[in-house]
Amino acid sequence: MLPKISTQTFKPHALHGGTRSWPETNCYVDLWIEVLNAYGLEPAAALGFTVAQDFEGDQLTFFKFPLEDLQALFGLHVQELAIYDSIEAHTAVQLDRGNLVLVEMDSFYLPDTRGTAYQHEHVKTTVGIVELDAVHRRLAYFHNAGFYELSGEDFDGVFRRIPALKDDPNVLFPYVEFVKLKEGEGKSGKALLDEAKALLRWHLHRRPTNPIAKLRPEFPRHLEQLALRPMAYFHLYSFNVVRQLGANFELLGDHCRWLAAQGEGGLEEAIAACEQLASTTKGLQFLLARAVNKKKFGDFNPTLETLERAHDTALGVLVKRYG
């Protein structure tokens, strides 16, 4: 069953509050936070996976809600949707069946990205479609931390109905998923807490060694590239390294707060360490931006050491408590 929502009544979840260090994380996580919010489910219960973030050599893990976790906690089943007709035709079928549809779309045609990608650059992103009116060319959808509508030429653009796109054999169908809510499978109360703790234990079991300790020896090379590249490169770098690290651990702190609110004790030190990670990475982003602007790079080791220690503290508490 689709959530009953409109752009007039939509209120973002507290995880997207403006006073946070990282009010936005990445398009997939932000989308799911608001989808869960619209279904009346608590996204903070599903954030245990954030303990498993790693350094991938040139970036921090682009973290996502594991679909298996969403199924175990909330009874949400996410499946790939095969596309053999028009995207809007398949989407309409699933919406009629009460299923949310997740579609990779081009931000060039998404008016909510006005000022960044809209009518400026082609950027892949995922939206969650709730309403579609092909006759009147109107779409209502989740994207990032909000819920929006588009219409007219933007509708034609996102669904590749513009002749130049429609007739181009090189334009591929996007990856599409649909979400089925199985009534009776979702958990609440103590059952939800027990499942969340079980998932946290599993993610702690598969956690990597400290990703910041892996980043530190590579960081001088990163600074060399930042010194050589334009500011546009810095924004991409910051998103994939600094923001993913800070936002990931700010959300881990939210998961710990949710556990504490359910009666789990002994998490205060982990929460404080996650807050330190979030605020310190925010500061690191400003320091890097200033350094790139001035082409003058100082010593970032003290900041990285602070982040490394905070990570060890947060994960150490959780391993001792749940590992």
pLDDT tens track for 159-202? 888 877 666 655 667 899 999 999 889 999 999 999 999 999 99
How far is 216 from 222, CA to CA, in rounded Å?
10
pLDDT at 213 over 80: yes
Residue 141 is predicted with a pLDDT of 97
Residue with tokens 């219409």: 151
CA 256-71-31 angle, to 5 degrees, is: 70
pLDDT at 240 over 60: yes
Strands (E), the chain: 76-80, 100-106, 124-133, 138-143, 146-151, 176-181
Q: What is the pTM of this model?
A: 0.94
Please give the average per-residue pLDDT across 5-9, as a whole number.
90
Residue 2 is predicted with a pLDDT of 85
How far is 2 from 100, CA to CA, in rounded Å?
6
Query: Chain-wide mean pLDDT for the chain?
Result: 94
Please give the average per-residue pLDDT across 220-238, as a whole number.
95
- Which amino acid, 120? H
